[in-house]
Amino acid sequence: MRTCLIAGNWKMHLTPAEGGALANTLRQRIGMRTDIEIVLCPPFVALPAVADALRGSEMKLGAQNVFWADSGAYTGQISPPMLVAVGCEYVILGHSETRGRFGTPDPTFTDAILRYFGENEATLNRKIRAVLPHGLKPILCVGETLEERQAGQTEKVIESQLQGALEGLVADELYELVIAYEPVWAIGTGQVCDAPEANRVCGWIRQWLAHHFEPELGEHVRILYGGSVKASNAHELLHQPEIDGALVGGASLNAEEFEQITYCARTH
Ligand code: PGA
């Protein structure tokens, strides 16, 4: 059985005070659910306020990114032990917005900037290796752009993203990994992927994990769908057999909408 996971990615929204208030509202409404897992991923500076608001509830805390070193001369970066210290259990990695604007590095970036800030498979691989020993669970985002989908390259793109990010890791290390299938063309566009198609791709990812590592891993790892999930489409998406939850952006900023999405969630 894979416990359904609903994660709210707040992106660069809400101050600590605003985030604390939203978390408090959600805690009162859905904070004691144990049949599914609910995770809030606020901006770094709001993590302590949200952690305070969630204390004593069943809801979990996640970050939106991390650097791979534990400490050092990396101005502006946040390390895995820092996330653990403020109560994070999850961390989103490889979101298309950190991989580069909509999957393509900004052409005005120099190589030197890209080396650190243009996320790629190699930096993701370092980050995954860095967080696992700290008990942080990565939510690894993968997905194709519209051009890649139209060119029939969806599986090829996702395969290379998975291969690169998970290179050198063994099955035993990956049982707590969560994968989010987030087609780039569906993120923040209101253009949700059809539920049967999202189900098909999530199933394909599961098969890939089973084949590449071991069958039990494929059965165990949770695969979420993300991209324009709302209360109005959550039921159909979350009732697909291969979809184990949702990574919700815009709709997670609205307490009522997010609450409604969690009502559509069921563990299967
Ligand atoms: P969205 O974002 O729900 O606003 O489309 C999803 C995401 O970026 O994780």
Residue 212 sits in a domain whose CATH number is 3.20.20.70
* 139: in domain: yes
Q: What is the pLDDT of residue 77?
A: 93
| Cβ of 250 less than 6 Å from ligand 1 | yes
- Is 95 catalytic? The answer is yes
* 88: in domain: no
- Residue bearing the bigger pLDDT, 179 or 121: 179
| Cβ of 249 less than 6 Å from ligand 1 | yes
* 256: in domain: yes
Q: What is the pLDDT of residue 268?
A: 73
Amino acid at position 254, single letter: N
Q: Which residues lie below 8 Å from residue 9, measured CB to CB, with a gap of 6+?
A: 41, 64, 92, 95, 226, 247, 248, 249, 252
Confidence of residue 96 (pLDDT cuts 50, 70, 90): confident
* 90: in domain: no
The pTM assigned to this predicted structure is 0.94
Q: Tell me, what DSSP letter sits at residue 251?
A: G
CB 62 within 8 A of CB 7: yes
Amino acid at position 82, single letter: M
* 158: in domain: yes
For the stretch 7-29, pLDDT in tens is: 999 999 999 999 999 999 999 99
> What domain count does the chain have?
1
Which ligand 1 atom is at minimum distance from the Cα of 186? 5
Confidence of residue 266 (pLDDT cuts 50, 70, 90): confident
| Cβ of 247 less than 6 Å from ligand 1 | yes
The 10 Å Cβ neighbour count of residue 226 is: 28
CB 27 within 8 A of CB 59: yes
Which long-range contacts link 31-34 to residues 24+ away (Cβ below 8 Å)? 31/57, 31/58, 31/59, 32/57, 32/58, 33/58, 33/262, 34/58
pLDDT at 111 over 80: no
Q: For residues 79 and 130, what is the distance between their CA atoms, to the nearest angstrom? A: 9
* 39: in domain: yes
Average pLDDT over the chain, rounded to whole? 94
CA of 39 to the centre of ligand 1 (A): 14
Identify the helix (H) or strand (E) that includes residue 174. none
- Residue bearing the bigger pLDDT, 106 or 74: 74
* 36: in domain: yes
Which ligand 1 atom is at minimum distance from the Cα of 227? 5
Confidence of residue 267 (pLDDT cuts 50, 70, 90): confident
Full domain range(s) for residue 116: 5-83+96-262
For the stretch 164-201, pLDDT in tens is: 999 999 999 999 999 999 999 999 899 999 999 999 99
What is the sign, positive or negative, of the torsion defined by CA atoms of 236, 241, 242, 245? positive
pLDDT at 112 over 80: no
- Is 211 catalytic? The answer is no
Q: Hey, whose CA ends up nearest to atom 7 of ligand 1?
A: 249
Query: Which of 187, 232, 252 is the best mutation target for the ligand 1 pocket, counting ligand atoms within 8 Å of the beta carbon and taking the most?
Result: 187
Q: Which residues lie below 8 Å from residue 161, measured CB to CB, with a gap of 6+?
A: 94, 121, 142, 143
Mean pLDDT of 134-155: 96
For the stretch 192-238, pLDDT in tens is: 999 999 999 999 999 999 999 999 999 999 999 999 999 999 999 99
Q: For residues 268 and 265, what is the distance between their CA atoms, to the nearest angstrom? A: 9
Catalytic residue among 37, 144, 148, 182: 182
Which ligand 1 atom is at minimum distance from the Cα of 9? 9
* 160: in domain: yes
